[in-house]
Structure 1
Amino acid sequence: MDTNLIEEAKRYITKLFEGHSDGHDLNHSLRVYENAVKIAKEEHGCDMEAVALASLLHDVDDHKLFDTKDNANAAGFLKEHGVDAERITFIVSIINSVSFSKNKGKTPDTLEAKIVQDADRLDAMGAIGIARTFAYGGKNGRSLEESIEHFHDKLLLLKDGLNTETARKMAEERHRFLEEFLVHFEDENPLV
């Protein structure tokens, strides 16, 4: 694995996500990277560098944040750093398998894509997932109750859609925490 390229990707996303604080930010991408590396170490036989790069770059062309086409930011970064066209295509295919809304019900074709998709979904669960939901909701004018709908539309569905055994184990406590939070929220909120 080219550790210099990984460090360059970290510097790139640090600059690119400057000023973003809606849950799709630098720290989200770094957590996805950490989750992906942890899963990849347990799920043998994957291309660790592709997993690392795809996890770091998975949101650099997210339509909620950037007005790009054809993964222009991710592909541009990789090309600029000497990655060959075939490898760029592979890494971009991993990135394109991550989005929940675009890939609902689809299982990725490669182990690398399964790992990065799982890593991203884990960051939407547990305490971090709750915080991200309300950060995004607040930025986009959602009420607390509207943000709670997101739990039922997405967050509570994530556990059963994970691809790897490692991620499923990591998700158990996070999923329980989501369920417990909802119980407390409903107990404290007479409007629900």
Structure 2
Amino acid sequence: MDITYIVDYIRNIFKNNSDGHDVAHTMRVYHEAMKIAAHYDECDKELVAYAALLHDVDDYKLTKNTNNENARNCLKNQNVDDERIEEICAIINAVSYSKNKGKKPNTIETKIVQDADRLDAIGAIGIARAFAYGGKNGRSFEQTIEHFHDKLLLLKDEMNTDEARIVANARHSFMESFLKEFEKEMGDNLKYIN
């Protein structure tokens, strides 16, 4: 695996992206996934690495690609065989929260990458990403706060691995503190929104 090539590949895809789906997000997910994977001897760490690095390159919020075109292109350029490409794409396709609501991953590799991506959606970085995405897409502060209740506050209980649950609990508590402070600072102004 040529990680330098992959990072350059995703950097090119995410250039000029300021909504929290970028190389920095990808690398946080990759590093978190590899930390979790280290706890599982049975885990195929190469599958985890590829899927974590490429999990957003075909995201519907960022591209109109179908069938993981960007991921497949990158993997072919890395001489990954077709069977492995299908395994990696299956993991990538199981990461999205909105597309996989109510579904539980069926492999340890998928559980790990899904957990790593969801961990980056909560805590201090999750808060920053939520507002970056909201601002880029014309959401008000209040609409972004709704997103916390619709998704982000639910993620703690969606974690698949014990390692991710520990991190999620701390990040969840931080988000709850933030929301209490936000509500306090907004005060009576909240009733004028909508």
Q: TM class, shorter-chain normalised? A: over 0.9
- 1:72 Cα deviation from its structure 2 partner: 0.5
Q: SS state of the match for residue 114, structure 1?
A: helix
Match of 1:80 in 2: 77
Question: 8 Å contact 1:32–1:119 — kept in the other structure?
Answer: yes
Q: Which contiguous aligned blocks of 4+ residues in structure 1 show a shift greater than 4 angstroms? A: none
Match of 2:68 in 1: 71
- 1:79 Cα deviation from its structure 2 partner: 1.3
Matched positions, count: 189
Match of 1:111 in 2: 108
1:159-170 alignment, distance < 5 Å? 159-170=156-167
Paired residue type of 2:107: T
Q: Which of 128, 131, 134 is 1:131 aligned to?
A: 128
Percent identity between matched residues is: 60
Match of 1:143 in 2: 140
Q: What is the TM-score normalised by the length of structure 2?
A: 0.95
Paired residue type of 2:100: N
Match of 1:10 in 2: 7
Paired residue type of 1:36: A
Question: 8 Å contact 1:126–1:177 — kept in the other structure?
Answer: yes
In the alignment, the residues of structure 2 paired with residue 36 and residue 81 of structure 1 have an alpha-carbon distance, to the nearest angstrom, of 20
Question: 8 Å contact 1:43–1:164 — kept in the other structure?
Answer: no
Match of 2:172 in 1: 175
Task: Confirm whether residue 89 of structure 1 aligns to residue 107 of structure 2.
Answer: no
RMSD: 0.9
- 1:168 Cα deviation from its structure 2 partner: 0.4
In the alignment, the residues of structure 2 paired with residue 108 and residue 148 of structure 1 have an alpha-carbon distance, to the nearest angstrom, of 28
- 1:80 Cα deviation from its structure 2 partner: 2.1
In the alignment, the residues of structure 2 paired with residue 93 and residue 29 of structure 1 have an alpha-carbon distance, to the nearest angstrom, of 18
Q: What is the TM-score normalised by the length of structure 1?
A: 0.96
Structure 2: where are the runs of 5+ without partners?
Answer: none
Select between 7-16 and 92-101 the one with higher mean Cα deviation. Answer: 7-16
Structure 1: where are the runs of 5+ without partners?
Answer: none
- 1:10 Cα deviation from its structure 2 partner: 1.5
Question: 8 Å contact 1:22–1:132 — kept in the other structure?
Answer: yes
> Alpha-carbon deviations, 1:50-94, whole Å to 9, x = none?
101100100000011111010000011111221111000000000
- 1:44 Cα deviation from its structure 2 partner: 2.8
Match of 1:33 in 2: 30
